[in-house]
Amino acid sequence: MSNPAHAVQTAMRNALLAHAPLTLLLSGAHVFEEMPRGAVAPYVSFGDIETRDWSVADAKAHEHFVTLSVRTNNRSRKLAQDILGEIESVLDNAPLTLVGHRLVNLRLTFWSVAREKNGENFGAVLRFRAATEPL
């Protein structure tokens, strides 16, 4: 059986990469599972993924808390907010197809837009909750 957290991550990334308005804002297919060395903003990257048992007496299930980070090359908060909005439009309550698992639901539970540590640019953090069951 495949790992349900990896199945969620892969399906989320594929959906983001297929969304032309997001690709335009990112100036390319800059949605990364693993950050390549020298990646130039703007981009979206997967951060922590926490998985918890969500089983009931007769069925195995998991819930996953997936963090996405947005980095921009802009001193304006607007680009980070626009990217965040496109991510939400693609993933919130999306009927994604997972390999080896069924997605029960996917919801955006948290987001924040803030100035980067460098004091120059803005970024965002989004957290999604995904519930899955094996097929």
Distance, in Å, from the CA atom of 43 to the CA atom of 39, rounded to the nearest integer, reads: 8
Q: pTM here?
A: 0.94
Angle between helices 4-17 and 77-91 (to 10 degrees): 120
CB 127 within 8 A of CB 66: yes
CATH fold of 4-134 reads STM4215-like (3.30.2000)
45-92 pLDDT, tens digit per residue, is 999 999 999 888 888 899 999 999 999 998 989 999 999 999 999 999
Q: How far apart are CA 125 and CA 48, in angstroms?
A: 11
What does the domain layout of the chain look like in residue ranges? 4-134
Beta strands in the chain (DSSP E): 31-32, 43-53, 62-71, 101-115, 122-134
Q: Is the model's pLDDT at 1 over the cut of 70?
A: no
